[in-house]
Amino acid sequence: MSTESIRMVLIGPPGAGKGTQAPNLVEKFHACHLSTGDMLRSQIAKNTELGQEAKKIMDQGGLVSDEIMVNMIKDELTNNPACKNGFILDGFPRTIPQAEKLDQMLAERGTPLQRAVELQVDDDLLVARITGRLIHPASGRSYHKLFNPPKVDMVDDVTGEPLIQRSDDNADALKKRLAGYHAQTEPIVDFYKKTGIWSGVDASQPPATVWDEILKSLSQK
């Protein structure tokens, strides 16, 4: 894979370190980071047609359709200048039909996926990681009480604003999320293994080691 561009999916359970590694990938490859939550918020904020459709569904408590999500990704790839060197998809696809729709759309654009990297961590370690996680809401920067504490307790290093702990970052909620993640995502991993673009990285290691392993997996032909 050339270092000039990147087209990849980043797969991993909550707390595997996607939020730590995605910015590294963005910086190295000058690509765009497409996280499903951010894309939805951005399209709703810009009041686009897709955003209006998504908001209507979400306001009724429904799940935004695969069609809308794939179209949002397509819209970002077409209109976001940061995407011209490629993209890092995070949080999508979550199901086989989504992966198939995504592949089809990317094939039509002539920009197929090059890599699907899975950050692999045992559930027990994730519970320890997540229950100590602290977030700076405005930027999405994350810290950890044990592994990556802020310089000043409960305060963002950059802005000095207070950090929060998300309400769903507790052990019971997390175990439910992990069960859902495994049920949904393991088929995705098999899907990408079959297409030959999958690689797994042991994400229980320190972030710098995980980063080196990701780069190694990206440079494999």
Q: What is the pLDDT along the chain (221 residues), one digit of tens a residue?
A: 445 689 999 999 888 989 889 999 999 999 999 998 889 998 999 999 999 999 999 999 888 999 999 999 999 999 999 999 999 999 899 889 999 999 999 999 999 999 999 999 999 888 887 788 899 998 888 898 887 899 999 999 999 999 998 776 677 878 888 888 889 888 999 999 999 999 999 999 999 999 999 999 998 75
Task: In whole angstroms, give the CA distance from residue 121 to residue 218.
Answer: 19
Nearest Cα residue to 121 out of 47, 205, 55, 187? 205
Residue 20 counted as an annotated binding residue: yes
Name the token pair of 83.
């995407």
Name the token pair of 43.
């399209």
166 is catalytic: yes
Nearest Cα residue to 73 out of 54, 55, 89? 89
Q: Using alpha carbons only, give the angle 46, 169, 73 rounded to the nearest 5 degrees.
A: 30
How, if at all, do strands 133-135 and 142-144 pair? antiparallel
| φ, ψ (nearest 5 deg) of residue 98 | -65, -40
Residue 36 counted as an annotated binding residue: yes
Q: What are the structural domains, with CATH classification, of the chain?
A: 6-121+172-219 (3.40.50.300)
Residue 205 counted as an annotated binding residue: yes
18 is catalytic: yes
Active-site hit among 18, 115, 129, 141: 18
133 is catalytic: yes
pTM for the whole structure: 0.79
